[in-house]
Amino acid sequence: MKKTSIISFSKKGINEIGEACALIANTEGLTAHEQSVRVRLD
């Protein structure tokens, strides 16, 4: 069975660590996840 995690952030939280999340996603080749974070940073 596949495990799924749902993670939520406040606006303050995403602003504090969003760039790091996007960088990790990009490094791991998860470009859709990176873009998802970047959309929320705009």
pLDDT at residue number 6? 85
1-42 tens-digit pLDDT:
889 988 888 999 999 999 999 999 999 999 999 999 999 998
In this prediction the pTM is: 0.78
Q: How many of the other CB atoms lie within 10 Å of CB of 16?
A: 11
Question: Nearest to residue 19, comparing CAs of 37, 39, 1?
Answer: 37
2 Rama class: left (phi>0) / alpha (psi -120 to 50) / beta: beta
28 backbone dihedrals φ, ψ, rounded to 5°: -85, 5
pLDDT at residue number 7? 85
pLDDT at residue number 28? 97
